[in-house]
Chain A
Amino acid sequence: MSYIHGFGAYLPERVVTNAVLASQLSCTAEWIESVSGIRERRWAGEETVADLAILAARDCLRRSGIEASRLGLLIVSSGSAERRFPGPGSTVAAALGLNGTPVIDLPLASAGSIFGLSLASQLAASYGEIMVVAAEKMSAVIQGAALDRNTAILFGDGAGAALVSSRPGRFEVLDSVLHTDGGFRDDLALDWGSPLRMNGLTVILQAARKLPAVIGEVLKRQNIPAAEVTQFVMHQANQNLITRVAKALGVDASLMFSNVSKYGNTSSASMLIAAAEWEPSPGPVVFAGFGAGFNWGALVARRE
């Protein structure tokens, strides 16, 4: 049995509004909001992915009331890390004063949080206190080439974190399901030195099908009807997608926590940033994510 004890987040200070981007992309701020639900996003300055991750990890440790020295495993997800290896996990571990604790980097992009959370819940019995951190500096990715209207409007920077262990805590993890379909690996990809490639039509078409399906799958395994879930927190990709998933599940859209209007799509960080701003009622809650790979998954927990 495993539990989620707390969340943490860090968002860079600089706010980039739709109006700022619209002036560079030959579109309007209203159009950006209509196709994405996003009004503004945060862009980091000199901070690296690891810098963002460290601040979110410290916030999570503070909120969870434990010292970094108690961590038995660190899982760090990022699809926008600055170098091939080592991943940002080593830098985060060093900053937290860890010099023997194992670190796993997950270069999964948007599904990184749900994969990290699921893995942590499976590994908690062996590793004790596990910190999952997801951090992204997507502004560096989209500014690494001429701004592309299809991607530049969506992404933002930030980091989120969660603390998982086998000792009883705020959320009891009941079950999780993960999937990968490599058949679509080229529809959303970032090669070194190249611009982000995103076939938006394929991504939305697949996500609109797979997210409700995987949420339904994990709920069915636990015999929990979707109508009994008190709140859902998903990867914050796009408000239209979040609303569509609610409709497919037959639940009210108000049950889908959303902060995408403030931060945009922060890739793997988004679900944990959302969770850090989230205070669901007692009962079953669902986490879910979908991203490049395609990788997708869902986790159901019970808020006591």
Chain B
Amino acid sequence: MRDRLLKVLQKVTTQPLNIGDEDSLFESGLLDSFALPDLVSGLEEEFSFKVPDSDLNPRKFDSIARIEAYLSEHAKV
């Protein structure tokens, strides 16, 4: 799952993924407000699931660790 997640993340950011699992993707500058929708769409496509609108909250996608936790709970991994 992790490799697939990182592949999606790398696709939507122009910067190298030199970041800790708990570091904020937004504060580090890896993601901005317009890359975030691309990240969510990319995850939905890669993991064949749909993030409900009620879960479209940046906090759920703010770090690699949080995305992994979300995917573990909701996606087909």
Chain A residues closer than 8 Å to B33, beta-carbon distance: 200-201, 203-205
**In the complex, chain B residues whose CB is within 8 Å of the CB of A208:** 34, 37
C-alpha gap A229/B37 in the complex (Å): 25
Q: Is B58 within 8 A of A199, CB to CB?
A: yes
In the bound complex, CA of A165 to CA of B67 (Å):
50
Q: State the CA gap A22–B26 with chains docked (Å).
A: 22
Q: Which residue of B lies closest to A181 (CB)?
A: B53
Q: How far is the CA of A203 from the CA of B32 in the complex (A)?
A: 12
Q: Which of B26, B32, B34, B53 contacts A206 (CB 8 A)?
A: B53
Q: How large is the interface on A (under 10, 10 to 19, 20 to 34, 35 or more residues)?
A: 10 to 19
Name the B residues within 8 Å of A281 (CB-CB): none
A241 surroundings in chain B (CB, below 8 A): 34
Partner of A209, one of B32, B34, B53: B53
What residue of chain A has the Cβ atom nearest to residue B51's Cβ? A209
Q: Which of B36, B53, B54, B57 contacts A204 (CB 8 A)?
A: B36
Inter-chain contacts of A202 with B (CB < 8 A)? 56-58
B58 and A183 form a contact (CB under 8 A): no
B30 within 8 A of A: no
Chain B 2-43, CB within 8 Å of chain A: the 1/0 string? 000000000000000000000000100000111011001000
The answer to whether B58 and A201 have CB atoms under 8 Å apart is yes
Contacts of B37 in A (CB 8 A): 204-205, 208-209, 244
Report if A24 contacts B (CB, 8 A): no
> Bound state CA distance, A208 and B62, in angstroms?
18
Tell me which residues across on chain B come within 8 A of A183, comparing CB atoms: 54
B58, A210: Cβ atoms under 8 Å?
no
Interface residues, chain A, with chain B CB atoms under 8 Å away:
35, 181, 183, 199-206, 208-210, 240-241, 244
